[in-house]
Structures are given as C-alpha cells and as structure tokens.
Amino acid sequence: MKLIVIAVLLCAEAIRVSSDCPTIISRNRWGAKPPKQVQTIRLPVEYVVIHHSATPTCLDEDACSKRLISIQNYHMDVLKYNDISYSFMVGGDGKIYEGVGWNKQGSHTTPQWDSRSIGIGFIGNFTVEPPQKDALDVAQQLIKCGVAIGVVQADYKLLGARSLKPTESPGDALYKEIQNWDGFVRSP
C-alpha cells in the first residue's frame, strides 16, 4: 500500500515537471534536414544566450517553418555550419521550434561558449520593437523547463549574444527586455 502511494506521488512529480515545458515543434515537423555532424555537450549548461535572427518574423506555424528552413539552409550552405546554429528558436506565433536541441552543440556564438550554453534565437529583427509578449513568455518558460528537467543549471547566467561576440544581436529592444529576466548578466 505504502509503495503504491509512493509510486503515485513520483508519477505526479514527473508530470508536474514536464508540464513546466512548452510544446516544442520538432525538427521533423518543421522540415529540418539532417545535420552534417553532431557534437553533444555536457549538461547541465551554465549559460543561456539570447539572439535574434535579424530576418523577417513569422506569425503562424507554416510561415515559421519556412523561415526555419531558410535559416538552416543559410547556416549550412553559406556559413558552412553543421546545422542550424541555435538550440531553439522562438516564432512570432509564440511557439518554440527545435534547433539542435538541448544536448547538441550549436554554433550561435564561438565554440568556447557554444559548448557551455544553449542559444535561443527569436525569429525577427528586434532592434526597434521587442517581440510579442507570448513569444517573450514562451522563451522564459523554455528556460524554466530546461532547469526543471536538469539540462540547464539552476543558477544559470543569461546573456545577450552581443556579450559574447561582435554582433547587434539580440537587437536593442530585445536586449533591453531580457535585462529584466532571471539570471541576466552583462558579461560571463
């Protein structure tokens, strides 16, 4: 009897943890092509890096999927990366799209930082206006999810891409926004 109660409590705990996680549109669903090479990283990561794609945004799954395909093509064919550079992307539709995912090394900063971080790229150019509230919310939910499932350190540091490489990313308006988020630091 005691064992059954414990089992039920454990199940309830597992469900609670996974319900912290937003729905993630898988690579398969948005139409990703396979990576050229895969390098896994050590988890949990210490850093979360926020980027913008500096492309037009997208407002529904169909448009966002097309945008991800074009970003992946550019990263693999022109920039010669192994895959799309980000761990995840956030659409203007308020949905999370899987990039390389939690446990694979992206190419969103430099190898030194890529191996110790996840990179979240907002689809759009957020120099003047920040992303919509539901996009901002779902990105923060994704980070909380990462902590809950043990792939992001509880005391993670959150950075704008501009703190790790010469870039405007994540755009002035989004950079201002993330300064209010948990874990924000100006330099690693």
Ligand X SMILES: *[C@@H]1O[C@H](CO)[C@@H](O)[C@H](O)[C@H]1NC(C)=O
Q: Which residues bind ligand X (CB under 6 A)?
A: 54, 125, 127-128
Nearest distance in Å: CB 71, ligand X = 13
Phi/psi of residue 157, nearest 5 degrees = -110, 135
Considering beta carbons, is residue 134 or 168 the nearer one to ligand X?
168
C-alpha 165/C-alpha 148 separation (Å) is: 29
Considering beta carbons, is residue 142 or 161 the nearer one to ligand X?
161
Considering beta carbons, is residue 74 or 101 the nearer one to ligand X?
74
Nearest distance in Å: CB 40, ligand X = 31
Nearest distance in Å: CB 20, ligand X = 33
**Half-sphere exposure for 28 (CA within 13 Å, toward CB):** 0
Considering beta carbons, is residue 105 or 125 the nearer one to ligand X?
125
Assigned token pair, 22: 């937003």
Nearest distance in Å: CB 127, ligand X = 4
